[in-house]
């Protein structure tokens, strides 16, 4: 038998409900902590796999300054990631340029102008857009946009920055719209009422009162869209042309960091220098997306405090 509990009341409470409470509390805590464990675990794994390369074979000048990504060249492999970084940057940049006007427009309409059924239907549709698998987007880029771009712009191949950028813009737009709409909704109605009471039109209220009040949240929306674009793999792999180039026009084919990892990792001997170099690309991606998300989070916090 267990020793007599010091407190009678405490032992009274140890019925089924007490155990359920304790158990559930424990499970929920594990769930909460697991996010931290996973993120640290992933970071440790990616770093561990890529680390040997950083000390042996890694030359920052070559990595960031040379476009020559020739990891399988014998006997002198070169690991220049400049073209890959430029590829990712150009595609993401174009994606943001094309997605921002549409998603801000959509968010403003849904939050400020649409009412009743229209609003609900639009919200659901935008969320549905976010649920389309990226390989389907890639397929659209490959089989629809490719011939279209060739026909319209008279270029030899339609798999390029323009194609991947537009596809990625479409993919990032629903996320931007949803978060931007939340940011607009977070602006207190009193602001709008005050504006309207002073005789401002609906549009004037939106432009001069609501948008400035929501600017941090809108910034976060754009940043999270950028993060989405930066990390996207499949659609970019399919639509960008997968070609090592420093792009000088939207019609150049490029290759993204993510696509390079996806295309090469499966056929690389585990632990080889090439494998480690790919993980170094992974570290770079991780660092950038982490900074973007952190920045977005700080902006949102700015909103809550303000």
Q: Smallest distance from the beta carbon of 119 to another protein, in angstroms?
A: 42
Question: Please, what is the minimum distance in Å from the beta carbon of residue 16 to another protein?
Answer: 40
Nearer to another protein by C-beta: 182 or 273? 273
Question: Is residue 83 near another protein by the rule CB under 8 A?
Answer: yes
- In this structure, are residues 84 and 69 in contact, taking their beta carbons and an 8 Å threshold? yes
Which residue lies nearer to another protein by CB, 52 or 302?
52
Is 52 a residue that touches another protein (CB under 8 A)?
A: no
Q: Determine which residue in the list 134, 178, 233, 245 makes contact with another protein, applying CB under 8 A.
A: 245
What sign for the dihedral angle of Cα 294, 295, 300, 305? Answer: positive
> Six-digit token pair at 212?
């400035």
- Whether omega before 299 lies within 30 degrees of 0, making that bond cis, reads no
CB of 251 to another protein, least distance (A): 9
Of the two residues 62 and 196, which places its CB atom closer to another protein in the complex? Answer: 62
Site string for another protein, 252-281 (x = CB under 8 A): -x-x------xxxxxxxxx-x-x-------
In the structure encoding, which two tokens stand for residue 89, read together? Answer: 């940057």
Q: Which residues of 55-69 are buried (b: 16+ CB within 10 A; e: fewer)?
A: eeebeeeebeebbeb
Contacting range for another protein; rule: CB under 8 A; set: 61-69, 101-109, 171-179, 207-215 = 61-69
C-beta closer to another protein: residue 56 or 267: 267
- Spell out the residues 6+ positions from residue 191 whose beta carbon is closer than 8 angstroms to its own: 209, 210, 213
Q: Is 82 in the site for another protein (CB under 8 A)?
A: no
Residues 149-168 that bind another protein (CB under 8 A): 154-157, 159
**What is the per-residue binding string for another protein in 123-152, x denoting contact by CB under 8 A?**
-----------------------xx-----
Burial class (CB in 10 A: 0-12, 13-18, 19+), 102: middle
Whole-number Cα distances in Å, 34 to 30, 39, 47: 6, 8, 19
Contact predicate 21/13, CB 8 Å: no
Question: What is the nearest approach in angstroms of another protein to the Cβ of residue 55?
Answer: 20
If one counts every other C-beta atom within 10 angstroms of the C-beta of residue 45, the result is 12
- Chain residues in the site for another protein (CB under 8 A): 67-74, 83, 146-147, 154-157, 159, 237, 241-245, 253, 255, 262-270, 272, 274
């Amino acid at each position: 038998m267990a020793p007599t509990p010091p407190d009678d009341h405490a032992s009274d409470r140890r019925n089924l409900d007490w155990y359920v409470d304790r158990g559930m509390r424990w499970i929920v805590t594990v769930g909460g902590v697991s996010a931290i464990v996973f993120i640290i675990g992933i970071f440790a794994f990616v770093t561990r796999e890529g680390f040997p390369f950083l000390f042996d074979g890694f030359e920052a000048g070559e990595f960031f300054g040379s476009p020559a990504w020739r990891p399988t060249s014998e006997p002198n492999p070169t690991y220049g990631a400049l073209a890959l970084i430029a590829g990712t940057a150009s595609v993401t940049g174009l994606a943001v340029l094309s997605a921002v006007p549409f998603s801000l427009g959509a968010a403003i309409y849904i939050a400020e102008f649409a009412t009743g059924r229209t609003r609900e239907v639009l919200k659901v549709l935008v969320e549905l857009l976010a649920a389309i698998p990226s390989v389907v987007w890639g397929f659209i880029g490959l089989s629809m946009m490719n011939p279209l771009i060739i026909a319209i712009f008279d270029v030899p191949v339609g798999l390029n920055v323009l194609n991947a950028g537009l596809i990625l813009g479409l993919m990032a737009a629903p996320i931007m719209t949803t978060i931007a709409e939340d940011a607009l909704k977070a602006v207190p109605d009193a602001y709008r009422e005050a504006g309207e009471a002073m005789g401002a039109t609906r549009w004037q209220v939106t432009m001069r009162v609501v948008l400035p009040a929501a600017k941090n949240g809108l910034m976060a929306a754009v940043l999270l869209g950028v993060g989405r674009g930066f990390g996207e793999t499949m659609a970019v792999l399919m639509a960008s042309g997968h070609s090592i180039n420093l792009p000088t026009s939207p019609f150049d084919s490029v290759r993204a960091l993510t696509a390079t990892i996806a295309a090469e990792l499966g056929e690389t001997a585990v632990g080889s220098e090439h494998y480690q170099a790919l993980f170094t690309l992974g570290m770079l991606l991780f660092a950038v997306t982490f900074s973007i998300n952190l920045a977005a989070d700080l902006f949102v916090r700015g909103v809550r405090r303000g």
